[in-house]
């Protein structure tokens, strides 16, 4: 969630660190800070609440310039508040009482209260409300009796409980920079006479694509010419660097006003990319899984899909589809709840873990627990360099490209399409669909990019609806079958980006409580697509209309006249197979959320309180 950038070398350090932070803005934050040590070992440190631009303006006013012949080292941070409100004092970096140690931190220290009390009893005072300041003061205390800095860090980690990634400088450790990883991502970049540290490789790929992904329980000591890694027990770890694809990590709005809008428009190309790689023709076999991964699905006792947020909604679509085509019982679980349950998992269980970032803390912990019980894990992610990908038995890349807007759009659609392909391949392998049924689904799947493009070419109706309902304080989204999770995704998008209270329900649940809220101030967005439950959806909309609710229909194809009278507004989407309809139905809801948020003047790409990569509970 927070962003870490560190550097040691001779490049202009201030713009390098600030630009690195800028590439991490999409992850979410509420304050930022920077610190560096120059040739005289003098510390420069600045922290500002709010946007990175506040910090940048303040630092730029100093007109600081490197001496090109001198080595500098520095760390920078964007904070997403967990302990203490977003203020200058709570922003990172934090320093030790003696001023020698400077530290930045992602994650949460669960035992910080008792450590804080212990340190106060020893005479230490605190300037902030953060758990992070506890770390730096504890390290200062340890260094009073431990002269070896790596051993001091190992003693530090033995006292900390929680998930964390640390970037550390010490004035006394000349020419050195340190990183610590424990259940929070951290990567180091290898350059020519320079080294980098970051919470995400996107922050350093401008300078190097040679990286080392640290593993949990590791400490790295960086100099300008190399790195040394040890585990928390003090054993040296030999890890070779690897090359990442820099072209997939370029932040570019391509002329769009916001990244969210650009990423909505990316969706046809994302789907085409997936289909071109895994589905050549209507009669060709699907190839989303390799043979060892496909073999896992031959006869599993159970399949469990785990995810959070939009990934959870995509998983629900996948459940409906896989059960329909592959005839396998699939459960879908919120990863945050699943990790704390006494789950029925064994070696005959397949876990399908879905995460855009591949670093979602709840999902990562859930798959680790399941692997301990013998389950096989297939991860569906947009980042094949992530921790989840590295710890899974099989990985499926959704190929959505870097998604910068905090609100998921193209990654959600890509996840759904991947689950379609996975379901079709398993159905082919198990022989649960007739050849003509498979061919029809494949053919209609390949039409989705063009169908979305027809909607992208004409958004006037959605724009008009957004203006009409943008001042409402509440909104209800309903759907049935495959489009129950689509309705939940539409509601999630609206509340994420516009802050309007929205809920997604199965229309079958309307009479079991939510109908009590309906009146002229509670619009309903109803997803209506061809299928056995279409008439049931019409009935639900008529019941809502009878309670004075305004009904907005996301409707596939032409509307019959008797049904049209039920709707106040109709947004038409292309007609496709009912099982594939979530992909076309979600697009106008993405636009609806975007246009309402823009109309209300909200920060579309970086909504308040949210983070792109949720690496803490």
Q: Name 223's bridge partners.
A: 226
Alpha helices by DSSP H, 212-338: 259-265, 267-278, 291-296, 310-326, 335-338
Residue 326 CA to residue 416 CA, distance in Å, equals 16
Q: Strand (E) positions, 480-614?
A: 501-506, 524-528, 551-556, 569-573
Q: Which residues contact 601 (CB under 8 A, 6 or more apart)?
A: none
Query: Does residue 589 contact residue 502 with C-beta atoms inside 8 Å?
Result: no
Which structure tokens are listed for 578? 């009912």
* Tokens, residue 27: 């992850």
Residue 366 to residue 386: CA distance in whole angstroms = 15
Is residue 466 within 8 A of residue 475, CB to CB? The reply is no
- C-alpha to C-alpha distance for 21 and 132, rounded to whole angstroms: 19
| Structure-block tokens of residue 262 | 């650009």
- Helix, strand, coil percentages (3-state) for the chain, rounded to 5, are 40, 25, 40
Asked whether the beta carbons of 484 and 586 are under 8 A apart, the reply is no
Judging by DSSP bridges, how do beta strands 195-198 and 3-9 pair with one another?
antiparallel
CA separation for the pair 220, 211 (Å, rounded) = 13
Question: Quick one: which of 533, 89, 185, 490 has its CA closest to 313?
Answer: 490
Count of C-beta atoms within a 10 Å radius of residue 343: 20
- Alpha carbons 563 and 555: distance in angstroms, whole number: 11
Are the C-beta atoms of 130 and 83 separated by less than 8 Å? yes
- The number of residues in the chain equals 617
Give the three-class secondary structure for 328: coil
Query: For residue 525, what are its two tokens?
Result: 């967005």
Which residues have a catalytic role annotated? 2, 612
How deeply is 254 buried, as exposed, middle or buried, from its count of CB atoms within 10 A (0-12, 13-18, 19+)?
exposed
Q: Which of 224, 223, 227, 225 is nearest to 213 (CA)?
A: 227
Question: What are the angstrom distances between the C-alpha of 292 and each of 295, 296, 419, 513?
Answer: 5, 7, 18, 47
Contact 182, 196 (CB under 8 A): no
Q: What 3-state class would DSSP assign to 430?
A: helix
């Amino acid at each position: 969630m927070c962003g870490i950038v560190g550097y040691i070398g001779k490049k202009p350090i201030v713009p390098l660190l600030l630009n690195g932070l800028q590439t991490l803005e999409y992850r979410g934050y509420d304050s930022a800070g920077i610190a560096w040590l120059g040739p005289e070992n003098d510390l420069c440190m600045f922290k500002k609440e709010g946007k990175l631009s506040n910090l940048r303006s303040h630092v730029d006013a100093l007109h600081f310039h490197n001496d090109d012949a001198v080595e500098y080292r520095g760390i920078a941070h964007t904070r997403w508040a967990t302990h203490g409100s977003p203020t200058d004092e709570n922003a990172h970096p934090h320093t030790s009482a003696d001023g020698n140690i400077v530290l930045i931190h992602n994650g949460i220290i669960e035992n910080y209260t008792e450590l804080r009390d212990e340190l106060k009893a020893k005479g230490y005072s605190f300037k902030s409300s953060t758990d992070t300041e506890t770390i730096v003061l504890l390290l200062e205390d340890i260094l009073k009796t431990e002269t070896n800095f790596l051993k001091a860090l190992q003693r530090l980690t033995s006292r900390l409980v929680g998930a964390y990634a640390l970037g550390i400088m010490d004035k006394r450790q000349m020419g050195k920079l340190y990183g610590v990883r424990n259940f929070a991502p951290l990567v180091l970049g290898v350059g020519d006479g320079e080294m980098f540290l970051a919470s995400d490789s996107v922050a350093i790929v401008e300078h190097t694509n040679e990286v080392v992904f640290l593993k949990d329980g590791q400490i790295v000591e960086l100099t300008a010419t190399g790195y040394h890694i040890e585990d928390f027990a003090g054993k040296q770890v030999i890890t070779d660097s690897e090359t990442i694809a820099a072209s997939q990590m370029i932040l570019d709005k391509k002329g769009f006003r916001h990244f969210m809008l650009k990423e909505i428009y990316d969706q046809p190309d994302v789907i085409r990319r997936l289909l071109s790689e895994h589905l050549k023709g209507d009669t060709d076999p699907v190839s989303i899984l390799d043979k060892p991964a496909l073999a896992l699905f031959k006869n599993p006792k159970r399949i469990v899909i785990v995810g959070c947020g939009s990934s959870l909604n995509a998983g629900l679509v996948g459940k409906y589809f896989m059960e329909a085509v592959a005839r396998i019982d699939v459960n879908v679980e919120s990863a945050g709840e699943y990790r704390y349950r006494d789950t029925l998992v064994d070696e005959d269980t397949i876990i399908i873990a879905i995460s855009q970032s591949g670093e979602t803390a709840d999902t990562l912990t859930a798959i680790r627990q399941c692997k301990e019980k013998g389950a096989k894990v297939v991860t569906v992610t947009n980042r094949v360099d992530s921790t989840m990908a590295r710890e899974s038995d099989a990985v499926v890349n959704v190929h959505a490209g870097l998604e910068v807007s905090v609100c998921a759009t193209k990654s959600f659609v890509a996840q759904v399409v991947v689950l379609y392909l996975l379901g079709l391949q398993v159905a082919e392998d198990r022989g649960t669909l007739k050849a003509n049924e498979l061919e029809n689904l494949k053919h209609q799947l390949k039409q989705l990019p063009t169908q979305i493009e027809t909607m992208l070419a004409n958004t006037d109706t959605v724009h008009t609806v957004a203006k009409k309902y943008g001042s409402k304080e509440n909104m209800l989204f309903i759907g049935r079958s495959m489009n129950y999770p689509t309705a939940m995704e539409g509601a999630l998008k609206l509340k994420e980006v516009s802050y309007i209270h929205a809920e997604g329900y199965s229309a079958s649940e309307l009479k079991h409580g939510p109908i009590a809220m309906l009146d002229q101030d509670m619009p309903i967005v109803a997803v209506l697509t061809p299928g056995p439950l279409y008439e049931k959806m019409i009935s639900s909309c008529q019941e809502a209309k009878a309670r004075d609710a305004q009904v907005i229909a996301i409707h596939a194809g032409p509307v019959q006249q008797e049904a049209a009278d039920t709707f106040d507004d109709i947004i038409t989407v292309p007609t496709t197979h009912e099982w594939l309809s979530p992909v076309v139905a979600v697009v106008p809801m993405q636009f609806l959320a975007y246009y309402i948020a823009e109309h209300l003047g909200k920060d579309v790409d970086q909504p308040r309180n949210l983070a792109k990569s949720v690496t803490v509970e």
